[in-house]
Structure 1
């Protein structure tokens, strides 16, 4: 197993990596700089789409384009011309929140959560955008919505609230998208914070640890299976990609790091890749963009 720099970048707040199997390409965002980015190992350069507001997360659409979670709402993005079509505005009465992490379930519903920028308040929520473009609030009293994902058998939904340093697990009803039976999957020590996550084909959860200099792999029963040390202090999320879906791509941030701290981690803000011995699960696409 080997770790290297996949994309040398200076992202302020790199986040939300999604691997496109069809394009052999990695998409990810820089929330702070309001950018959606795309890179492929098959060619040089990075494609960039500039957003009007912070982009917390996104998902590719089955019929083409993306659904994006911008600061205060969800929208469709046409990748050919950059046109944005609003779907729904949420939390317009809450100027202290913005959308953060999001992901699609295997039925094609887009899940995205907001975060409360006035830490440690918990006035944010988790939402689900269905295939008919209706949006439902799933959970309230959230601090910072973060890493989410599903077990390979679709029976468990994982969801992170970084404010309370906890990854939760829920029973998941794949047919109607409901969650129940909330329980603590993992509580993280207070000296670092769980951020984005992905679930591999064996059902193990990989969580990026903000300020922890590592990604941690947890077994389905919440035990630490392995830790991957990183040359960056603030890894933000991860996803599997590559021809065999066994390359773990890891985004990172340089936001609020001092000049002295950045000297010690020149790759902060870059995308790293860790070659693993396990396979990921292809990221699901939104099925409501048609």
Structure 2
């Protein structure tokens, strides 16, 4: 999952399996690598500075300058086979993150909302692979997908108490070539979804209708985010994992970071409160 940092004027994204946080400066092309000691599923910036990292063994505070890592807390201390995956802040600065079984892909995952250290609420259980977390520009809708279901869900969202309700299918993808992975929204309230195993990112209208498709030369399209000083560049992350030698030969750019101009702009990500 990529995030554009207005504070740093850099794009941050992660490698889950070769654990690292990357920082790209489009002004000079510089890329910094922050190597991690265990799998990292998602992250967000903090108002207080630095990052919050969702990792295999819990949530960690991370100082991007000193590169010091400190355990914040573990929402699942009794589930050692789980890890934290996709996550994002809502418009009020709560961090939402989903967990998943890291081995057998059993439905042991949960979607959590975290407001402060130790204050953690659970809302969706029985998840296999949590993905596609995003919030509408006004914060009144929450998007979420359990990837194997091939459905993107949308919830009414109360910005004040942070409770999602009235879940319904936003887009049923059973007739699509791929499955829902990471998502972001634009200023028009449209959802951009990375369709993994389908070589594309799809823009959906607020009614769940396909409006635009960006084709890529790789199959493992994993997530996307708007970035750049004007938030007018869609950055797209991809993966090499699971590809055969033959597939890698046909997809030499697998695992690369892509950028596309879409004619629209994104919405700045909210920082973790406190």
Shift of residue 279, structure 1, vs aligned partner: 0.8
State the partner residue of 2:36: 51
Contact 2:72/2:117 (<8 A) preserved: no
1:231 aligns with 2:217: yes
Query: Which residue of 2 is the match for residue 244 of structure 1?
Result: 230
Structure 2 counterpart of 1:8: none
Report if the CA contact (8 A) 1:27-1:38 is conserved: yes
CA apart distance, 1:134:
1.4
> Cα RMSD over matched residues?
1.4
Q: Is the 1:119–1:143 contact (alpha carbons within 8 Å) kept by the matching residues of 2? A: no
For structure 1, the 5+ residue unaligned runs are: 1-15
Per the alignment, in what secondary structure is the counterpart of residue 76 of structure 2? Answer: coil
User: TM-score scaled to structure 1, two decimals?
Assistant: 0.90
Cα offset, 1:72, TM superposition: 2.7
Instruction: Please tell me whether residue 88 in structure 1 is matched to residue 77 in structure 2.
Output: no
Once the two structures are TM-superposed, the CA of residue 43 in structure 1 deviates from its matched residue by 2.1
Residues 199-257 of structure 1: CA distance to partner in whole angstroms, max 9, x if unpaired? 11100000001100000111111111111111110110000011221110000000011
Q: Deviations over 1:35-60 (max 9, x none)?
A: 01101111243212222210100001
User: Which of 212, 215, 228 is residue 201 of structure 2 equivalent to?
Assistant: 215
CA contact (8 A) 1:120 1:163 kept: no
Quick one: distance in 1 between partners of 2:30 and 2:18?
A: 18
In the other structure, the counterpart of 2:264 is 278
3-state SS of 2:247 partner? helix
- Aligned equivalents of 1:157, 1:45: Cα separation in 2: 34
How big is each residue's C-alpha offset from its partner over 1:85-124, in whole Å with a ceiling of 9 and x where there is no partner?
A: 2121133333332111101111111111112335553110
CA–CA distance in structure 1, aligned partners of residues 245 and 63 of structure 2: 38
Distance 1:133 1:97, change over 3 A: closer
SS in 2 for 1:130: strand
With the length of structure 2 as denominator, give the TM-score of the two structures. Answer: 0.95
Whose RCO is larger (CA < 8 A, sep 6+)? 1
Distance 1:119 1:166, change over 3 A: farther
Gaps of 5+ in 2: none
Number of residue pairs aligned between Structure 1 and Structure 2: 273
Distance in 2 (CA, whole Å) between partners of 1:44 and 1:184 is 40
CA distances 1:139-197 after superposition (whole Å, capped 9, x unpaired): 11111111111111211110111021111100101011111111111111264111000
Local SS of the residue matching 1:287: coil
Q: 2:150 touches 2:172 (CA, 8 Å); kept in 1?
A: yes
Alignment of 1:73 with 2:58, yes or no, is yes
Q: Report if aligned partners of 2:75, 2:120 keep a CA contact under 8 Å in 1.
A: no
Q: How does 1:108-257 map to 2 (within 5 A)?
A: 108-118=93-103, 121-131=106-116, 133-189=118-174, 191-257=177-243
